[in-house]
Structures are given as C-alpha cells and as structure tokens.
Amino acid sequence: MMTGEEYRQSLRRLRRTIYALGERVEDVTGHPLFQDHINTAALTYDLAHDPQHQALLTATSHLTGKRINRFTHIQQDTEDLMKKVQMLRLLGQLTGSCFQRCAGLDALNAVYNATYQVDQKYGTDYHRRARDYVARAQDADLMCEAGMTDPKGDRSLRPSQQADPDLYLHVVERRKDGIVVRGAKLHQTGAVNSHEIIVMPTTALREDDKDYAVAFAVPSDTPGLVFIFGRQTNDQRKLEGELDQGNARYGYTGGEAMVVFNDVFVPWERVFLCGEHDFALVMLEYFSCYHRSNYGACKAGVADVLIGATALLAEYNGVGANPIVRDKLVEMVHLAETLYACANGASATGRATPAGGWWVNPIMANVTKLNTARFTYDLLRLAHDVSGGLVATVPSERDLRHPEIGKYLEKYLKGAGGVPAEHRIRLFRLVEAMSSCPVMLEAVHGAGSPATQRIPMLRQAELDKKVAMARELAGIPAPAPGEAKARG
C-alpha cells in the first residue's frame, strides 16, 4: 500500500494533457488549484498505515489474500459494507470535504459484479478481465475514478439518435487488439489526480445503442485523453492566501473535470463490456446504488464538521446556551444521523451477488441519496441561521492583515469573552466554503439527480405486495384473474 507521499510521487510520473483556467498544467502536485484535492486523497493513503484507523482503511483481498487499501476492495459481506460506511464518515469528519476515491471503489465493484452476469449469458471473458484488473489495482494501490456521466446533448433523444454521436461516449472502431472510443465524461471527481479511469454506460440502452454499451479502464495518461478542470466558487482564493479559503488543507469539492476521449485506444484486456446493451442498466444500477448509499456516510461526516463550526460560532456570538439555538443544533444532529442511519441500513440489509460480491439494499440506497439532496440544504440553512450574516460579508484576510485598517476588524469583530476576530473569521470562512454552490449541487446531482432515485424506488417498492397487505387487513378480496385492478 502506498503512503500519501508515494501517492504524490506517483502523480508526478504521469504525463497528461490537463488544462485549468485556460492554461496547460504540467504537474498538478505543484499547482495551487489542486493542492487541497491531492491532500484529501493522500489522507486516504496515510490513514491506511495509521494503527488507529487500519481496521477501517484496509481489508484483505479475496483475490490475493494480501492486505490492501479498502478503496480497492471488492465487498464480500455485510461487515465489509458497514466498515465502508464507517470509513466514509470518518474521512468526512477529518476533511470536511470530498475525498474522491468513493466513485472509483464503486466502479470496481460494479464492473466486477456485472461482468460475471454478462459472461453467464453470452459466454464472454469479461469477468476474468475484471478480476485481473481489480488485482492489479489492489497491488499497485491505484486511485481510480468513475467515468459515468456523458454530456447527453438533447436529453429527449437516445444516444444513437443524437445529431452528434459523440455526445455519448461510444466505440468508433473495433480492432483485433482492442477498441477505439470517442466522447467525453463530465463532472469527473478527482480525475486530475487519479491513476485510472473506469468508464461505464450512463443510461439504459437498446439494440440501436449497442456502440454506446461500453465499459473499460484506461490509465489517466493514455494518449487522446484531455482533462479540463472545472471552475469552483471562490477558486481564485487558492492563489491569494490561506485564511479566505475556509478549508485550505482539504478544500470543499472533489476537483471535478471534463475528460475528453479523442479516439482513445483500449486493449481488449481492459474492456469489460462492448455491445451487450442489455447489461448497461445492470452495470449502472450496481454502481449507482453503491454510490448513492455512500452519501449518507460521507455527508454525515461533513455535516459533523458543519455542526461543530455552527456550535462554536454560537459560543463566539454569546448565544451558545440559548434554547432556540440549541434546538437548531439538535435539528442538525437529527438530519446528519438520519443520513448515517440510511447508509447503515442500506449496508446491513444488502445481499450477495451472483459473482460472490456483496450489494447494498437498492431501495434504501436510493432513499439515502434522496434524503441527502434534501437534508444538505436544511443543514446549511440552519448553519446560516445560527452563524449570522458575516458568513456572507466578512472582509478579507488582506484587510485583517492591513497595517491601517486591520485594527478595526480586530476591534469590531471580536467575539464574546474576548475571542479574537481571526478565530471568528476562520469559522465564517469555513461555513462559507461548506455552503458553496458546488457543495449543494453535488449533494443534489452527484450519483444522479433526485428523479433518478425516484424512478428505481417506485420500481423496487413492490406496490402489489403492499396492496395485498392492505386488502387482507381491510377484508377486501383480491380481484379475479383478468379483472381490472381498480375494481373491488
């Protein structure tokens, strides 16, 4: 297993085409825009060597018997899923941010489980390839990212109906030694500081869409890949100083990027789906349910930091003991623990997969993510309510350090009991950073927008069974075969 420093060194060896703010970036480890994202991911490596956290951050590979980082592990039972949830909350508490490796872990598990079922139907060799790939990722302790979201173009049209066929990533050539793909993936968390990209279909597909039914993995420095780093609210502050960033060490987003695939060649050994359109949804559902259940854990951990900042600001404001404020803090705790309970429930009621892995409870995973989309706004609303308006209007670090006007900030922003102005400003900036637009949008649209959770929830709700329960208790006979359900 790598250490955090070894992880940084491994990034320096990659030769990639990366752009940020219109400029080519040769080395992400030396650029201020990327330091917080790299620091956060590096923590997932360092904690695996920390005796205090090894039980959560490591696992035993079922493929090799070696001790590995849990972010490369194929879940084998309920205990694995529960430890994953505990690990994600811990990392949320330690970083107050996105630590970027969840999607890659979920992609490994999705590909591993889905390929077995493809082989069972079509006699393909995908699962053996997936097993070999997972073993390599475990041995090298690779950070993988999941290439899931396509641009989609006109969303009323299917992939094969688009005016521009590249708006969904697809196969443009099949060769004896592999395939060539073209397209793009958006919102790619941790893409610029990952070793590998695991690409999967973004939607259910039909026969006409079979060229879009493709899953594979490529190193992030594969020729033809172009990374375009996304803008973030207040990202220029990373170029100015430390205090105004709010969370300078770990940031407040996952460092998302657009990844362009310009006729990228993929060897067959790295291809896990190619044309079997009926399994696009299977792979997608494995991934989405794993990933959606995560949100109740990592966001609960981040919420713990937000609750702490809010409580401390209340003390600094002199209202920490106020019953109204205490009630708002209780509500924040309730929201965070509800998210965590959902994540644990999805894990505790999971089941074995045909491949021998372990899958979360799909309906509870979707409930977890739908709650996250709602509760994040409620948590931030309560934090803003208690913290006060200075979260949005506090002057800059330059003003605080200014030889002429700094004294006014020190005088007028001092807190209850003589708390220094700088301490209050640091907390205001932390709450501001955690309230940024990327944080809220990611809570809503990460792992799919709310509609993508509602659709499978209805499908998985087993309404007919619930109707039968109600009929039985109400004393209403079931309709005869062929009789309309609406009658009697």
Q: Which residues are catalytic?
A: 98, 102, 189, 256, 291, 295, 298, 442
Q: Which two tokens stand for residue 41?
A: 């991911």
| DSSP structural state of residue 349 | T
In angstroms, the Cα distances linking 474 to 55, 166, 487 are 50, 55, 15
> Other C-beta atoms within 10 Å of 171: how many?
20
The answer to whether the beta carbons of residues 349 and 289 sit under 8 Å apart is no
243 burial class (0-12, 13-18, 19+ CB within 10 angstroms)?
middle
* Share of the chain residues as helix, strand and coil, in percent rounded to the nearest 5: 55, 15, 30
Q: Phi/psi class of residue 383: alpha, beta or left (left: φ > 0; alpha: ψ in -120 to 50)?
A: alpha
d(CA 269, CA 123): 16
Residues β-bridged to residue 181: 171, 264
Residues 6+ apart with CB under 8 A from 90: 53, 56, 301
Token code pair at residue 216: 């594979």
Burial 389-422 (b: 16+ CB within 10 A, else e): ebbeebbbbeebeeeeebeebeeebbbeeebebb
Q: What angle do CA 95, 96, 101 make, to 5 degrees?
A: 60
* CB neighbour list of residue 40: distance below 8 Å, 6 or more residues apart: 95, 97, 98, 99, 100, 250, 251
**DSSP result, 264-296:** EEEEGGGEEEES-GGGHHHHHHHHHHHHHHHHH
Q: What is the spatial distance between Cα 76 and Cα 73, in angstroms, rounded to a whole number? A: 9
